[in-house]
Amino acid sequence: MTVIDSHAHFEPRLLDADAAVRKMDEVGVDQVVLIPSMNGLFEAPPDALLSAMRTVMRRRATRGIAEAVHRATLTRSGDLRLGGKVIPIYPLPDNGAVAQVLAAHPGRFLGWIFLNPKHDPAPLETLERWRHVPGFIGVKLHPHWHDYRTALLHPILARCQELRLPVLIHLGFGKRGDFRTLGERFPKLTVIAAHAGFPFFDDLWALKHRYPNLHVDLSSPYLDEALVRDCVAAMGPERCLYGTDAPYGFEDASHSYDYGESKGWVERLPVTTAERERIFGLNFAELISR
Ligand SMILES: [Zn+2]
């Protein structure tokens, strides 16, 4: 069974590429798709907070509470304020750092090209610059932390649809995560909503028939095993992709990244072997060869 982690970050301050390869070999992950580092955040929020946020986000009536908490953590300059500390969010994550890893470890890593239309005056040129680099397979967008409305993405999404490049998007609240409009305007675009469709979850899963090209990844300590099960039951195994959000969260005993934890979520899913194979790698392999 080929195992591809469709959502991980290149953050050498926590886990460099050589250490990541050793961990991948230990737990049986064949390939990891890397996203350039977008901030200096090294500690996941406490489990109790993440659990409370999941509960309020899963109900439309209380999702606004989670949105208010999120807005309170963003500074006016677009950084994060957590526990009295200001943590920088990088407006233009460094695709070059991932390109170097792709060149050094061909076959083990693939890459997402990070674009931010809010701060990049020419994101289509940035896309053009990186999309020919072997190993880059699609585009990562983060309207949640880069804090822009998804309408700003339309030129990028039109181009990605034309090029058949999948898009991995961490949706934000409200107009910062307008997946309905994206699905209607770009019906042929492959969209992967990060973290099981955060922050919409059930409301996004309910529309899977309307948007046949909408997928989700199962990554991150934002989720837990129960939510992942609900997601796979609602979306179907053919729309779900294994991912980790490494190297954030999931510490092992030595405070290094525990690659096994979120893999266990998928290993224990009540699905057939063929369905598990789809989630672990086959779905992703098909999406990038369209
Ligand atoms: Zn992530």
Q: What is the mean pLDDT of the chain?
A: 94
Q: What is the pLDDT of residue 218?
A: 97
What is the whole-number distance in angstroms between the Cα of residue 228 and the centre of ligand 1?
Answer: 16
What is the whole-number distance in angstroms between the Cα of residue 239 and the centre of ligand 1?
Answer: 18
Q: What is the pLDDT of residue 126?
A: 98
Bigger pLDDT: 214 vs 41: 214
With cut-offs at 50, 70 and 90, classify the pLDDT of residue 285: very high
Is residue 198 within 8 A of residue 163, CB to CB? The reply is: no
What is the whole-number distance in angstroms between the Cα of residue 36 and the centre of ligand 1?
Answer: 10
With cut-offs at 50, 70 and 90, classify the pLDDT of residue 51: very high
What is the whole-number distance in angstroms between the Cα of residue 128 and the centre of ligand 1?
Answer: 23
Domains by residue range for the chain, with CATH = 4-42+90-288 (3.20.20.140)
Q: Please check the confidence at residue 159 and state whether its pLDDT lies above 90.
A: yes
Per-residue three-class SS string for the chain: CCCEEEEEEECCCCCCHHHHHHHHHHHCCCEEEEEECCECCCCCCCHHHHHHHHHHHCCHHHHHHHHHHHHHHECCCCCEEECCEEECECCCCCHHHHHHHHHHCECCEEEEEECCCCCCCCHHHHHHHHHCCCCEEEEEECCCCCCCCHHHHHHHHHHHHHHCCCEEECCCCHHHHCHHHHHHHCCCCCEEECHHHCCCCHHHHCCCCCCCCEEEECCCCCCCHHHHHHHHHHHCHHHEECCCCECCCCECCCCCECCHHHHHHHHCCCCCHHHHHHHHHHHHHHHHCC
pLDDT above 70 as % of the chain: 100
What is the whole-number distance in angstroms between the Cα of residue 76 and the centre of ligand 1?
Answer: 22
Q: What is the pLDDT of residue 14?
A: 87
Q: Please check the confidence at residue 283 and state whether its pLDDT lies above 90.
A: yes
What is the whole-number distance in angstroms between the Cα of residue 65 and the centre of ligand 1?
Answer: 22
What is the whole-number distance in angstroms between the Cα of residue 162 and the centre of ligand 1?
Answer: 25
Lowest mean pLDDT among 52-66, 120-134, 224-238, 255-269: 255-269
Task: Quote the CA–CA distance of 128 and 273 in Å, as a whole number.
Answer: 39
Once rounded to an integer, what is the mean pLDDT over residues 263-284?
A: 97
Q: Please check the confidence at residue 262 and state whether its pLDDT lies above 90.
A: no
Backbone angles phi, psi at 171, to 5 degrees: -70, 150
The answer to whether the peptide bond before residue 247 is cis (omega within 30 degrees of 0) is yes
What is the whole-number distance in angstroms between the Cα of residue 172 and the centre of ligand 1?
Answer: 13
What is the whole-number distance in angstroms between the Cα of residue 124 and the centre of ligand 1?
Answer: 22
Q: What is the pLDDT of residue 100?
A: 97
Question: Whose CA is closest to 167, among 123, 231, 120, 232?
Answer: 123
What is the whole-number distance in angstroms between the Cα of residue 6 and the centre of ligand 1?
Answer: 10
Q: What is the pLDDT of residue 176?
A: 98
What is the whole-number distance in angstroms between the Cα of residue 127 and the centre of ligand 1?
Answer: 20
What is the whole-number distance in angstroms between the Cα of residue 161 and the centre of ligand 1?
Answer: 22
With cut-offs at 50, 70 and 90, classify the pLDDT of residue 41: confident
